[in-house]
Amino acid sequence: MTANVFDEDVERSMEASMNAHLSKPIEPDKLYAEMAARAHRNTK
């Protein structure tokens, strides 16, 4: 989670092998959707 929301910040996050880029302020629906997607991928 980060306060950085510029496109280049998202790109740097992905280049650093992060799974996702969630910015502040937190949007609960996006947070929960991303958590559910990661949890689902880790159970396979």
Count: domains in the chain? 1
29 alpha carbon, distance to own chain's centre: 12
Residue 5 has what pLDDT? Answer: 80
In a domain, 13, yes or no: yes
Q: Give the closest residue to 14 by CA, choosing from 30, 2, 31.
A: 2
In a domain, 37, yes or no: yes
In a domain, 1, yes or no: no
In a domain, 2, yes or no: no
Tokens of 3: 């306060």
In a domain, 33, yes or no: yes
pLDDT in tens, 9-36: 889 988 999 988 888 889 999 999 999 9
In a domain, 30, yes or no: yes
Cis peptide preceding 25, ω within 30 of 0: yes
Residue 20 has what pLDDT? Answer: 87
What range does the domain containing 24 cover? Answer: 7-42
Tokens of 34: 């991303």
